[in-house]
Amino acid sequence: MTEKRTSALILAAGKGVRMKSDMPKVLHKVCGTPMLQYVLEAARGAGLDPVRVVIGYGAERIREHFAGANVEWIEQKEQLGTGHAVMTATPMYKGFSGDVVALYGDVPLLKAETISALLAAHRRAKALCTVLTAKVDDPTGYGRIVRSKSGALKAIVEQRDATKAQLKIREMNSGIMAFDGPTLFETIRRVKNDNSQREYYLTDVVEMLSRKRGKVATFTVDDPREILGINSRAQLAEVSRIMRMQIIERLMAEGVTIVDPENTYIEHNVEIGRDTVILPYTVICAGVKIGKGCEVGPFTHLRVDTVMEDGSEVGNFTEVKKGRIGRRTKAKHLSYLGDVDIGEDVNIGAGTIVANYDGKKKHLTIIGDRAFVGSGSVLVAPVKIGKGATTGAGAVVTRNHDVPDGAVVVGVPAKLLKKTKK
């Protein structure tokens, strides 16, 4: 039985020499998330299945990071170009009769909608191959789209192999292509490496099909930024900047006030409710969830697994890591709140430190509803501050010395000043 699905074949085997890094390039983060993750999400968002990824340099690290992901891995032992990567994948497609979309693990801005549009154009044209292109002012570093006098796609020429005339072409190849699967794998085995890099280019398949008068089409992306690849730290920073602004623009469209977008850092997969205000110089890491009507910043750092419930406020020079901030709770000044579960209507005084790490493990601190934590308090985890309890200014509540509901403690170490109300 043959497969009729449309597959994603993601090429992610390169080391990324210009990154000057021991880490596989596709694990470098864009807005808090490895760049390969975005490509996987786009492929799945476009309904591609199966999703297969060709890996090479740092293969084990990549597998480990994406353990549990619904991905079929293909290892390219020797990296000899994009065509060679597809050759390596060929055995996985035995009996496959559907379309294959070739994607790249270092192009994180590509949207699922663009992949779907590419596939739709490919099928309308009844093409054997459809190439995603873009028209830009400066295509330096990218292959050029060479067309015949009639406007048909004739060839794709890599920059290093292009003539002076071809280098003036402003239409560039994104590298992203939709193929008729059987045609791709039948043709790729005839690709040669007779070029300056002695590599096998996937783009040669396009020229070979064109010469045989096979139907080759193009689809031009509306926003050329979507196909920006990352090959250096400078490009990593540029793509991150673009994505960060896209995230911020989306949140503002959803009803979030971001006072100074240029000086606010919000990563991927952050949820923020409407009527929340984000003040300047705030960093909100991937996965953070913020409710409605909150206030964050300025100079606030919200780290992984932090949740701010409706109406809560975290302010100047306060860092929260793996913390729940309850409804209407305020932590406005100069505090570190790590591994905390804070209830509703709590006041966290200026300079409060939750000492969550004992040198070996991190521990949880629980602060009950309506508690008042005085300025300069140090809470040594694990510890619990009861509902309605108070710690005096400068108090050090030592580990496992829980403060009862309604009690008041002061001093170093903190001692009971006022008993729990009956």
**Structural domains of the chain, with CATH:** 7-227 (3.90.550.10), 233-418 (2.160.10.10)
Q: Are strands 99-104 and 33-34 parallel, antiparallel or unpaired?
A: unpaired
The answer to whether residues 286 and 304 touch, using CB atoms and an 8 Å cutoff, is yes
Q: Count of alpha carbons within 13 Å of 225, Cβ hemisphere only?
A: 11
Residue 58 sits at φ, ψ, to 5 deg, of 65, 30
Q: Which residues of the chain have pLDDT under 70?
A: 1-4, 420-422
Predicted pLDDT of residue 3: 52
- Angstrom distance (rounded) from CA 381 to CA 194: 65
Predicted pLDDT of residue 158: 84
Predicted pLDDT of residue 4: 67
E strand segments, 58-104: 72-75, 99-104
Predicted pLDDT of residue 1: 44
Q: Which residues contact 127 (CB under 8 A, 6 or more apart)?
A: 178, 180, 215, 216, 217
- Angstrom distance (rounded) from CA 405 to CA 53: 55
Predicted pLDDT of residue 20: 95
> Which residues are known to be catalytic?
333
- Angstrom distance (rounded) from CA 404 to CA 25: 52
309-345 confidence digits (pLDDT tens): 999 999 999 999 999 999 999 999 999 999 999 999 9
Q: Count of alpha carbons within 13 Å of 21, Cβ hemisphere only?
A: 18
Q: Which residues contact 96 (CB under 8 A, 6 or more apart)?
A: 2, 3, 7, 181, 182, 185
